[in-house]
């Protein structure tokens, strides 16, 4: 089960403003990537559900870092259905990120008091996500939606008071050194975002 409350997770994402996102099927490599992120001061890390038995690697990561660095907040990405989301939450995920809005997944996360960030590509999807209790949305797909989506709904709490983020964004200029030295794994992308509205990505 989640070790951190939903409020703790959201506040830490807002405080840091960057969530590294990666997947690697090798446990030792995954541990090294997370250690590099932690050394750079990044406490919230998203492990994507992309490979066979990815949840087993994730579960082992949760157990390992609960011992060696319990301040880290690990969550899962590419969550698309409630069954998969529940499997990861039971394995210790502190948050769930999805590529699309799934109301059943949102309800499951709400029942477990776990933060859920679905992918949204329009003001209507963001509004629906808010109705389902979502505090942070992922602007997705970022390459086709673009940063202008952050200006389409000035009255939306999600966009005005919270942090709208997207995956597959440009490399953050201020974190270029981290990407290049990230255990030689510069192919892993950073999840980037902008606080508030109208900032250039």
Tens of pLDDT, residues 166-184: 333 333 333 333 333 333 3
95-106 as b/e, with b when 16 or more CB fall inside 10 Å? Answer: bbbbbebbeebb
Q: Answer whether 9's CB lies under 8 Å from 44's CB.
A: yes
CB atoms within 10 A of CB 62: 19
Edge-to-edge strand order for the sheet containing 19-22?
115-117, 95-97, 73-77, 44-48, 19-22, 190-195, 163-166, 138-139, 119-120
pLDDT for res 113: 96
Tens of pLDDT, residues 40-82: 999 999 999 999 999 999 999 999 999 999 999 999 999 889 9
- Alpha-carbon gap, residue 9 to 44, rounded angstroms: 8
Tens of pLDDT, residues 129-156: 999 999 999 988 877 776 666 655 545 5
- Alpha-carbon gap, residue 166 to 201, rounded angstroms: 10
More confident residue, 191 or 141: 141
Q: Is 41 helix (H, G, I), strand (E, B) or coil?
A: coil
pLDDT for res 79: 82
- Alpha-carbon gap, residue 1 to 4, rounded angstroms: 9
pLDDT for res 40: 95
pLDDT for res 1: 83
- Alpha-carbon gap, residue 94 to 2, rounded angstroms: 5
The two structure tokens encoding residue 175: 């974190």
Domain 6-195 superfamily per CATH: Aldolase class I (3.20.20.70)
pLDDT for res 141: 81
Q: Answer whether 53's CB lies under 8 Å from 30's CB.
A: no
Tens of pLDDT, residues 80-114: 899 999 999 999 999 999 999 999 999 999 999 99
Structure pTM? 0.76
């Amino acid at each position: 089960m989640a070790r951190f409350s939903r409020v703790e997770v959201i506040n830490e994402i807002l405080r840091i403003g960057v969530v590294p996102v990666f997947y690697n099927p090798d446990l030792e490599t995954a541990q090294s990537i997370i250690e590099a992120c932690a050394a750079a001061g990044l406490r919230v890390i998203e492990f994507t559900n992309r490979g066979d038995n990815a949840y087993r690697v994730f579960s082992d990561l949760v157990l390992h870092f609960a011992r060696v660095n319990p301040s880290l907040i690990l969550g899962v990405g590419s969550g698309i259905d409630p069954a998969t989301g529940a499997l990861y939450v039971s394995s210790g995920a502190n948050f769930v990120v999805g590529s699309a809005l799934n109301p059943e997944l949102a309800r499951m996360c709400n029942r477990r008091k776990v933060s859920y960030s679905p992918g949204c590509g329009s003001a209507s999807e963001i509004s629906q996500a808010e109705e389902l209790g979502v505090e942070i949305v992922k602007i997705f797909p970022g390459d086709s939606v673009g940063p202008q989506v952050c200006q389409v709904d000035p009255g939306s709490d999600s966009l005005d008071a919270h942090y709208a983020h997207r995956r597959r964004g440009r490399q953050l200029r201020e974190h270029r050194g981290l990407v290049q030295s990230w255990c030689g794994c510069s192919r892993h992308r950073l999840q980037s975002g902008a606080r508030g509205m109208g900032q250039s990505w």
